[in-house]
Structure 1
Amino acid sequence: MNKIMLINRLNPQDYTEEKKKIFFSLGGMNIPKVENKIIDALHNSGIIGLNDLVLKYNGIELNITTQQIPNVVKLLCKENISIYSIYQFYNPDL
């Protein structure tokens, strides 16, 4: 069975303040200690608010601007969180 997922192309030249739902596929999301570590790190950094964070079974979805992605990656790496992919789901309703 093929598993197909449609995603939008991220534009690194996007300097707008428009927030988008960006998904980060992360390792260890099945471990409560790792989930709490991620939530605490993101909340304490001030990069995002708690309303901009949604926990998923295999990662997190953040409501952020494109230019905030590198800062989130840097923060997650600093916390030794494994990042497997970053993308924005395709939403034909846009």
Structure 2
Amino acid sequence: MARSLQDGFTATELQEAQRGLISARRLSRAQDARLAAGLASNLRLDRTFAISQQVDDAIAAATLEQVNAALRKYIRPEAFVYGFGGDFKE
């Protein structure tokens, strides 16, 4: 996290993240249960899957400068909350 905040993400990291996120979104929409849930949600919100395409397009269009600026604007490690779970007997 410290390296990302200091140096920013690299172009390769951004490209891989964009490709992975878009692929995951497309795969999700290809599964029957997720498709049905998306259709129901879109019906309730009075919209179509065109909004999903707009989101995919925005992800693909994000620039390295935009992503690094957003990272530095919104990520504050000093505000992170850490939680630990377990029995801690040893």
Range class of TM-score, shorter chain: under 0.3
Question: Higher helix fraction: Structure 1 or Structure 2?
Answer: 2
Q: TM-score, normalised by structure 2?
A: 0.26
Greater Rg, structure 1 or structure 2? 2
